Amino acid sequence: MANLEKTLMEKAAGSNRLDPDQQRKYLETFQERVICDIPVAEAKEPTVKQALPKILSSLKVHYSPLYLKISPVLPNDLQLAYLKMGKDLNIPTTIVSDECSRSPFGLIVHTDHALELENTSIQTYLPEQKEEAPINTKKGFFRRLFKN
């Protein structure tokens, strides 16, 4: 009888999850399944938005199945843009519940099995940006005379 009461109380309290704090942080998935995480601030940047379709296409070749989770913290226009991007690439994409609104991540790309990747930051997948060449400045007489 006590076992039945315990089961009823557990079911009434909600779903039984393994490590719910980790699942809330990683937008309803586990850390070991994450392939690429994108913080909220970076998910709002236009460079990430432009590079993401190419990144997702290359990740789709290497990892199967691939999923995209979108944070509810992102603005609605960005949520819809990322949702459309996932649909165009045939990647199951979802906007997670408000329960994950405290997550530092705006987007999570993951799979359904454990990978244990070391570095999952978006910076590892973004193309390197070329630094602009410094502008040549004329050195004055005294600067040439007293070299630093």
Q: What is the pLDDT of residues 56-93, one digit of tens each?
A: 999 999 998 999 999 999 999 999 999 999 999 999 99
Q: Is the pTM of this model over 0.85?
A: no
- 3-class DSSP state of 70: strand
pLDDT in tens, 29-56: 888 899 999 999 999 999 999 999 999 9
Find the radius of gyration of the CA atoms of the chain.
Answer: 23
Distance CA 59, CA 46 (A): 20
Q: What is the C-alpha to C-alpha distance for residues 52 and 58, in angstroms, rounded to an integer?
A: 10
Q: What number of H helices and E strands is found in the chain? A: 6, 4
